[in-house]
Chains A and B, each alone.
Chain A
Amino acid sequence: MAKKILVIDDEPDMVTFLTTLLEDNGYETVVATDGDEGLSQLKAHKPDLVSLDLLMPNKTGIKMFRELRRDPDLADTPVVMVTGFGTDDTPNMDFKKWIHERSIKPPEAYIEKPVDKDALLTAIKKIIG
Chain B
Amino acid sequence: MFKNAIHWFNKFTHSLSFKLSFYAGLIMFLAIIVFSYQSISTQENNLINKMIQESLKDSEVIKAAIWNGMMTKDREVIRQIVKAIGEQERFKEISVYDNKGDLHYSSRLIVSKNRIDPSVEPLMSDFKTDVKPRHRISKDGKSIIVVNPLVNTGSCSASGCHSSPEIEKTLGVLQVKLGLEGMNQELLRNTRQTVIFAVSLFLLISTASGLGVIWFINPKIRQLQEKAAKMARGEYDPRGKNGGSDEMAELIRSFDRMSLQINQRTMELDASRKLYKSLFDEVPCYLTVLDRNLRIVRANRAFVNEFGDQIGKNCFSAYKNRKEPCVNCPVAKTFEDGAVHQSEEVWRLHRRDCYVMVKTSPIFDDKGKVYEVLEMAVDVTLLKRLQFRLERKQYEFRRLFSTVPCYLTVVDRDFNIVTSNDLFDRDFGSSAGRKCFQAYKNSEHQCDNCPVAKTFNDGKTHYSEEIWRQNGEETYIVVYTAPIHDDDGNIISVMEMSTNITEVKRLQGELAILGETIAGMSHTIKNILSGLQGGVYVVDSGLTRGKEDKVRTGWAMVKNNVEKISDLVKGILYASKERAPEYREYSPSKLLSEVCDLYEVKAKSQGVNLVRSFDDKIKPCLIDPAGIHSAISNLVSNAIYACKNLNEEQSHTVTVSCRMDAQTLVVEVSDDGEGMPEEVRENLFKKFYSTKGSRGTGLGLVITRKVVHEHGGSIRVESKQGVGTTFVIEIPVNYEQAPPVLQEAS
Contacts and interface: CB of A to CB of B under 8 A. Distances in A.
B541 interface: yes
Interface string A20-34: 110010000000000
Given A55-B694, A89-B519, A17 B537 contact: yes
A59 to B, nearest CB: 11
A85 B535 contact: no
B527 A17 contact: no
Interface stretch (A38-46, A69-77, A94-102, A112-120): A112-120
Contact of A13 (B523, B526, B531, B550): B531
Contacts of A55: 693-694
A114 B530 contact: yes
A84 B557 contact: no
Given A11-B527, A13-B561, A114-B530, A20 B537 contact: yes
B560 to A, nearest CB: 7
Contact of A16 (B523, B526, B534): B534
Contacts of B527: 11, 14, 84, 113
B317 interface: no
B551 to A, nearest CB: 11
A17 B533 contact: yes
A18 interface: yes
Contacts of B530: 11, 13-14, 17, 84, 113-115
Q: How large is the interface on B (under 10, 10 to 19, 20 to 34, 35 or more residues)?
A: 20 to 34
Contacts of A16: 534, 538, 553-554, 557
Nearest to B536: A17
Contact of B537 (A58, A84, A89, A117): A117
B529 interface: yes
B165 to A, nearest CB: 203
Contacts of A24: 541, 545
B575 to A, nearest CB: 23
A13 B560 contact: yes
A17 B531 CA distance: 8
Nearest to B524: A84
* Most chain A beta-carbon neighbours within 10 Å: one of B526, B530, B560: B530
* Most chain B beta-carbon neighbours within 10 Å: one of A14, A84, A117: A84
Given A84-B694, A89-B519, A114-B533, A17 B557 contact: yes
Contacts of B537: 17, 20-21, 117
A20 B539 CA distance: 10
A11 B564 CA distance: 13
Contacts of B523: 84-85, 89
Nearest to A13: B531
Contacts of B522: 89
Nearest to A15: B534
Contact of A11 (B531, B533, B553, B554): B531
Interface string A108-129: 0000011101000000000000
A38 to B, nearest CB: 15
Contacts of B533: 17, 114-115
Interface string B503-533: 0000000000000000100110011011101
B102 to A, nearest CB: 199
A114 B526 contact: yes
B526 A113 contact: yes
A18 B530 CA distance: 10
B643 to A, nearest CB: 14
Interface in B557-577: 557, 560-561
A20 B526 contact: no
Contacts of A115: 530, 533
Given A13-B557, A85-B523, A20 B538 contact: yes
A85 B694 CA distance: 11
Contacts of B647: 57-58
* Most chain B beta-carbon neighbours within 10 Å: one of A14, A16, A58, A89: A16
A123 to B, nearest CB: 17
Interface in A44-58: 55, 57-58
Nearest to A24: B541
Nearest to B522: A89
Interface in B591-609: none
A5 to B, nearest CB: 16
A20 B429 CA distance: 73
Interface string B684-698: 000000000110000
A83 B526 CA distance: 10
A13 B558 CA distance: 9
Nearest to B561: A13
A21 B557 CA distance: 15
A7 to B, nearest CB: 12
Nearest to B544: A24
A14 B541 contact: no
A21 B538 CA distance: 8
B549 to A, nearest CB: 11
A18 B586 CA distance: 48
A114 B523 CA distance: 10
Interface in B248-303: none
A22 B560 CA distance: 22
Nearest to A21: B537
A11 B708 CA distance: 34
A58 B644 CA distance: 13
A117 B523 CA distance: 19
A4 B560 CA distance: 29
A33 B694 CA distance: 16
A55 B519 CA distance: 14
A20 B533 CA distance: 12
A17 B519 contact: no
Contacts of B531: 11, 13-14, 17
Nearest to A23: B541
B589 to A, nearest CB: 36
A24 B537 CA distance: 10
Given A18-B534, A84-B694, A114 B529 contact: yes
A17 B694 contact: no
A55 to B, nearest CB: 7
A114 B538 CA distance: 15
Interface string B301-316: 0000000000000000
A57 B674 CA distance: 15
Interface string B150-165: 0000000000000000
A16 B542 CA distance: 12
Interface in B21-54: none
Contact of B535 (A13, A18, A57, A117): A13
B715 to A, nearest CB: 29
A19 B526 CA distance: 19
5 contacts: A11-B530, A13-B561, A14-B531, A84-B523, A114-B529
Given A84-B530, A85-B523, A114-B530, 16 more contacts: A11-B531, A14-B527, A16-B553, A17-B531, A17-B534, A17-B535, A17-B537, A20-B554, A55-B693, A57-B645, A57-B647, A84-B527, A114-B533, A115-B530, A115-B533, A117-B537
* Ranked 9 nearest A-B pairs via Cβ: A17-B534, A13-B531, A84-B526, A114-B530, A113-B530, A114-B529, A84-B523, A13-B557, A20-B538
